[in-house]
């Protein structure tokens, strides 16, 4: 798209017309490094440590656990209302304002089967929130449906900015527990990645009975029902990253194997070493140890040696 800036000019002023081109944004793709198993374990380790930290408030722990268990966006959780949490009396589910819903609570998040989430929510709503509520109201039934579920220490509606203040305050203490630095939004991607891994295993991946049709069907249902994506192709971006992760895992295995190999045969001299004087026995100097017996030594096969000899004759 080309945009012209400036007032309308005459024919003699065309050379003074300013213009610039706004490039289109490329398609977003997951960070493959953060898809690997060691990083996924590291993210969970950090989240567990933050959940056990006494300095972090119950409110922040609720947000982190909902991120990990629902895959919802941060603003959807932070902006959760009392009416959305009550959700017409259905426990373990909540209605949130999703991206592009124009302020309407049309997306459902599910967290009924994780007791950690339910315990944190129960403790906060029964003991902590009434102390912060301006009217000292202790029951959700006494609150208006539009009232915020989470409150600040001053009794005002909780916000994304307030959450990030606490995130940057405490996260550095646990950063070393994960191989890479990650953000709260990466927890959402972690949820999607691990769901797809589990779904593949459930459908028989790695066996002779993999049900590809079932995987495709339930994968698309996950995208529309759980994540609330309008396009059925959004899940493809995440699913294709699984192939990239497998590629990186194979590369890591190859590099580990290369580190353990030895291609020099025993007694082969370093080409950069000075020549051995005549009459020398060529024995190993004192202090130098021979190769370990269990060490793998790689020799050229007959075909490779024949190829090398042919190349030398050319």
Q: Is the dihedral of CA 193, 68, 75, 148 positive or negative?
A: positive
Cα–Cα distances (Å) from 119 to 70, 75, 148, 301, in that order, read 16, 22, 19, 64
CB neighbours of residue 59 within 10 Å: 22
* 16-20: Cβ within 8 A, 24+ apart: none
pLDDT of residue 146: 93
Cα–Cα distances (Å) from 25 to 29, 80, 238, in that order, read 12, 30, 18
Helix and strand counts by DSSP (H, E) for the chain = 11, 4
Do the beta carbons of residue 286 and residue 250 sit within 8 Å?
no
Q: For the segment 238-264, what is each residue's pLDDT rounded down to a tens digit?
A: 776 555 556 666 666 777 787 787 776
pLDDT of residue 278: 56
Provide the token pair at 227.
């994540």
pLDDT of residue 141: 86
pLDDT of residue 213: 92
Candidate CATH numbers 3.30.450.20, 2.102.10.10, 1.10.443.10, 3.30.70.20; the one for domain 33-46+55-236: 1.10.443.10
Tell me the pLDDT of the chain averaged across its residues: 80
Q: Classify the phi-psi angles of 183: left when phi > 0, otherwise alpha if psi is within -120 to 50, otherwise beta.
A: beta
Which of these, 234, 201, 233, 231, lies nearest to 215 by C-alpha position?
201
pLDDT of residue 4: 44
Point out the residues of the chain with pLDDT beneath 50.
1-23, 284, 288, 290-293, 295-297
Residue burial 190-210, b: 16+ Cβ < 10 Å; e: rest = bbbbbbbbebbeebeeeeeee
Which of these, 70, 45, 69, 50, lies nearest to 61 by C-alpha position?
50
Q: What pTM was computed for the model?
A: 0.68
For 306, the 3-state DSSP assignment is: helix
CA–CA gap between residue 129 and residue 127 (Å, rounded): 6
């Amino acid at each position: 798209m080309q945009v012209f800036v400036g007032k309308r000019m005459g024919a003699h002023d065309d050379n003074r017309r300013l213009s610039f081109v706004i490039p289109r944004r490329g398609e977003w793709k997951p960070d493959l490094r953060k898809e690997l198993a060691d990083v996924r374990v590291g993210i969970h380790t950090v989240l567990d440590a933050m959940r056990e930290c006494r300095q972090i408030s119950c409110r922040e722990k609720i947000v982190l656990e909902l991120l990990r268990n629902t895959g919802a966006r941060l603003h959807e959780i932070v902006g959760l209302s009392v009416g959305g949490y009550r959700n017409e009396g259905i426990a373990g589910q909540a209605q949130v304002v999703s991206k592009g819903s124009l302020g309407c609570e049309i997306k459902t998040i599910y967290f009924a089967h994780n007791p950690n989430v339910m315990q944190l929510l129960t403790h906060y709503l029964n003991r902590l929130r009434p102390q912060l509520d301006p009217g000292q109201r202790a029951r959700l039934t006494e609150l208006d449906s539009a009232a915020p579920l989470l409150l600040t220490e001053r009794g005002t509606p909780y916000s994304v900015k307030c959450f990030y203040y606490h995130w940057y305050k405490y996260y550095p203490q646990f950063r070393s527990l994960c191989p890479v630095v990650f953000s709260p939004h990466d927890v959402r991607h972690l949820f999607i990645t691990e769901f797809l891994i589990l779904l593949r295993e459930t459908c028989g991946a790695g066996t002779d009975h993999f049900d590809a049709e079932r995987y495709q069907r339930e994968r698309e249902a996950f995208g529309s029902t759980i994540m609330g994506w309008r396009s059925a192709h959004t899940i493809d971006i995440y699913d294709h990253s699984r192939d990239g992760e497998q590629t990186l895992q194979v590369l890591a295995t190859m590099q580990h194997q290369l580190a353990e190999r030895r291609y020099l045969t025993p007694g082969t001299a370093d080409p950069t070493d000075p020549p051995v004087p005549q009459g020398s026995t060529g024995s190993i100097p004192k202090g130098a140890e021979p190769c370990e017996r269990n060490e793998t030594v790689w020799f050229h096969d007959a075909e490779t040696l024949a190829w090398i000899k042919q190349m030398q004759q050319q």
